Chains A and B, each alone.
Chain A
C-alpha cells in the first residue's frame, strides 16, 4: 500500500462503521452511534467516499439487494484504519503534556 497520509474524518468513520458490513443508510446510522451523535454524515459525503474507497480497494461490494449495495472493509482497509488509529493515538499521547500543564 502506498504511504498513507492522515485520513479525513469521513473516511475514518466510514471504515470504522464497515468493520461490520452494511449499506449506505445503515452506515450513516452507525456513524451517528459511534460518534455519539456528533457526526451526522450527509448522503453526498457518504456516496463520494464510498465510491473513492471502493476504487482504492479499502472496501468491497459484498451484495446487492434492490437499489441497496452492501459493503465490507477489505484487509487493506483494515490496515489503513489501524495505521490511522495508531497515528491518532500518537497525537493524543503527544498532547498529554497539556494535562500535565493543567495539574501544575
Chain B
C-alpha cells in the first residue's frame, strides 16, 4: 500500500494538526494532500519532520493557492510548502533544521486566526438562522396559522417519535459541538494574544472529536431509517380486527378496485412509535357503478392523557376543515367524543383511540352512520 487517507484534526486544532502530521511522518507516512475532512499520505521511510500550519483567509489566496511570494519567503527560511485546503496551509522542515518558527511573537499568530474565528461563528449561526428563517417563512407564506403549525409538530412528534427525537438530538449535538469548537478556538486566540506560544504537540482530542462525529452520523442515519423504513405497508385485507373500518361497514360492499386518481390499490400502512400505533388506510371499491373511497388515519395512543391535545392536532391538520373550529361535535353512543365537518371528514375518540376519516358523504345522516360504524367496531374489538 503506497498511500492512505487519514481523518485529520479540525481546522481550529492547529497544534494537534501539526503533531498529527509529524507523527504520521515518523511512522513513514508523508503528507501528500489535504482535503476538507481527510488527508492523503504517501508511504516513505520514517522521517523526523516538523510540520507547521499557517492559517490563511481565502481572500489572501491567488487562484486558490498561497501567493508565490509567501511560499518563497517560507522556503528560503527552510520551510517547504506541502499542501493546503480551506484556511489551513501546511509546511514542513526536518527536525533539527535551522528553520525558525513562523512568528516572532504569539500575538502575530493570533491575528491570523481572525478569519477562522469569523468562519466558525458563521458555521454556528447559519443552521440556527436557517431554522428561524424557515419557521418565519412557513408561518408567513404557507397559509398555516401558528396553531396549525404547532399542531403539525405535535402530530409529527406522536406519529414519528423516534425520527423527531433522533433528529433533534443530532441537531443539539451538532450545535453543542460547534459551540465547543468556537470555545476551543477562542481559548487558543486568547492564549496567543496573552503571549503564550502555540503548543505544537498538545494532547490529542481526536478520539473525542471522531466519536462525536460518528455519533452524529449514527443518530442521523438511524433517524432516517426510522422515518423511511419503520412503517409497514400491505394490501388492505377483506376484514381485520385492527381498529379501522371498511367501506363495507358503511354498507358499500362492492368489489375492490384501484384509485382513479393515482391508480393505487387499497392499502394499509402500519407504524408503531414510542407514543402510538398508527394505521393509515386507503380503500377503493366499485359500488353501483361508482368508485367509492375511504381514507382513514387511526391511532392508539400509549398515553391516554395525550388524547385531547392530539385530537385537536389531528383536526387542525385535516385536509378539508380549516382547523378544529371547522368541526361540529356530535353525540354517538359508545364513543367518548365525535365530530363531523362539511360532509367530508369525521373524527372519533374513545379511550386512547382516535380516528379521522374522509369520504364524500352526501349528508350529515350518513356521517353519523359512519361514526356509529366506528363505535360498533371499536366496542366489538374491546
Contacts and interface: CB of A to CB of B under 8 A. Distances in A.
Interface of A: 8-10, 24-25, 28, 39-48, 51, 66-69
A8 B63 CA distance: 31
27 contacts: A8-B105, A9-B105, A10-B105, A10-B108, A24-B69, A24-B76, A25-B72, A25-B77, A40-B100, A40-B104, A41-B100, A41-B104, A42-B102, A43-B70, A43-B76, A43-B79, A44-B54, A44-B74, A45-B104, A45-B108, A47-B69, A47-B74, A48-B108, A48-B111, A48-B112, A67-B69, A67-B72
B73 A25 contact: yes
A34 B307 CA distance: 84
Interface string B106-118: 0011011000000
Contacts, number: 64
Given A44-B108, A47-B70, 20 more contacts: A9-B105, A10-B104, A40-B104, A41-B104, A42-B100, A42-B103, A43-B70, A43-B74, A44-B74, A44-B102, A44-B109, A45-B102, A45-B103, A47-B69, A47-B74, A51-B60, A66-B72, A68-B69, A68-B72, A69-B69
Q: Which of A41, A46, A66 has the most CB of B within 10 A?
A: A46
Contacts of B101: 42
A24 B72 CA distance: 8
Contacts of B73: 24-25, 43, 46-47
A44 B109 CA distance: 8
B362 interface: no
Contact of B77 (A39, A42, A48, A68): A42
A88 B75 CA distance: 34
A45 B102 CA distance: 6
B335 interface: no
Contacts of A39: 104
Contacts of B79: 43
B344 interface: no
A102 B109 CA distance: 39
Interface string B81-108: 0000000000000000000111111001
Contacts of A40: 100, 104
Contacts of A51: 60
B60 to A, nearest CB: 8
B333 interface: no
Contacts of B111: 48
Contacts of A10: 104-105, 108
B325 interface: no
Contacts of A45: 102-105, 108
Nearest to B72: A67
Nearest to A45: B104
B104 A42 contact: yes
A9 B103 CA distance: 12
Contacts of B68: 67
Contacts of B71: 67
B76 A44 contact: no
A9 to B, nearest CB: 7
A25 B74 CA distance: 9
Most buried by B among A24, A43, A45: A43
A83 B74 CA distance: 31
Nearest to A46: B73
A43 B77 contact: yes
A43 B108 CA distance: 11
- In this complex, the member of A28, A45, A47 whose beta carbon has the largest number of chain B beta carbons within 10 angstroms is A47
Nearest to A51: B60
B71 to A, nearest CB: 7
A20 B335 CA distance: 98
Given A25-B77, A42-B77, A9 B104 contact: yes
